[in-house]
Amino acid sequence: MAAVDDLQFEEFGDVATSLAANPDATTINIEGPGESPKRPGPPRGSGREEDDELLGNDDSDKTELLAGQKKSSPFWTFEYYQTFFDVDTYQVFDRIKGSLLPIPGKNFVRLYIRSNPDLYGPFWICATLVFAIAISGNLSNFLIHLGEKSYHYVPEFRKVSIAATVIYAYAWLVPFALWGFLLWRNSKVMNIVSYSFLEIVCVYGYSLFIYIPTAILWIIPQKAVRWILVMMALGISGSVLAMTFWPAVREDNRRVALATIVTIVLLHTLLSVGCLAYFFDAPEVDHLPTTAVVPNQTVTAAKSS
């Protein structure tokens, strides 16, 4: 068909040969002074090279194109949800590392997520956190009350479902509220930086990672140790969140911007302190005298082991 023939790339060949063929034709030298052919491959016409550049030889252009083409499946197909799990192992590790080491000035979303938000990290970090808190809380209560005559160990299985509800609600509802709020502010004040809902969920999910080792260390029945751990975890994950969302509210009214950041950090504090208070019994100081006064068989057995 004539239409298909029209679509074939035309080989223009060398400038010299085409000028020799048609001396009257005008030729334009497009190549810049320092420019050299990007790929030393098979000889191609200058027209071809131009097209290659336009098609995105550049890596960033290519990823922009691909990112735009990624989520094209309708939402009722399985492929649509596969795009949210399009991460490799090293990418997940990089994102976790980024959430643990907040560098001032580096935005977590721009640096690590780069328009490829994943749901793998948030989902499994929250699942691990649920079980870490429930199991550590159970273990810590057992160790604190060890030796008490009236204490009967229970696995406290109900607390797993409570922990799951709280943590998954936090990981999804707070990003939703924040996204809605930022959308509303965006309609009033033109912000340079705006995040999609999934990117916010991603940041929140990865920022909860620091609480997994914190929950395990909360087994130590010392009040001072626990509160130091709370401060450290809050410092790290709070700063990740603050540095991520500050560029999104920076152009806004000063008070609104500060209030947003303060609310984000405050909700984070509420989550960690609430979990500490509910799942971990307070280590009372008067445990020691009671175990010394009552010579319990289990205490002596535990001490001799």
Partner 1 sequence: MAEAAESPGDPRTTSPRPLMRDLKAVGKKFMHVLYPRKSNTLLRDWDLWGPLVLCVTLALMLQRGSADNENDGGPQFAEVFVIIWFGAVTITLNSKLLGGNISFFQSLCVLGYCILPLTVALLVCRLVLLAKPGPINFIVRLFVVIVMFAWSIVASTAFLADSQPPNRKALAIYPVFLFYFVISWMILTFAP
Which CB, 62 or 158, lies closer to partner 1? Answer: 158
Compute the least distance from the CB of residue 77 to partner 1, in Å. 12
Compute the least distance from the CB of residue 15 to partner 1, in Å. 46
Nearest-angstrom CA–CA distance, 194 and 191: 7
Rg of the chain taking only CA atoms, in angstroms: 30
Which CB, 57 or 300, lies closer to partner 1? Answer: 300
Which CB, 29 or 89, lies closer to partner 1? Answer: 89
Compute the least distance from the CB of residue 269 to partner 1, in Å. 27
Which CB, 15 or 294, lies closer to partner 1? Answer: 294
Q: How far is CA 7 from the centre of its chain?
A: 44
Which CB, 38 or 149, lies closer to partner 1? Answer: 149
Compute the least distance from the CB of residue 276 to partner 1, in Å. 18
Which CB, 139 or 267, lies closer to partner 1? Answer: 139
Compute the least distance from the CB of residue 29 to partner 1, in Å. 45
Residues found near partner 1 in the complex (CB under 8 A): 78, 81-82, 84-85, 87-90, 92, 120, 124, 127-128, 131, 135, 138, 153-159, 298, 301-302, 305
Compute the least distance from the CB of residue 240 to partner 1, in Å. 22
C-alpha triplet 262, 265, 271: angle, nearest 5°:
140
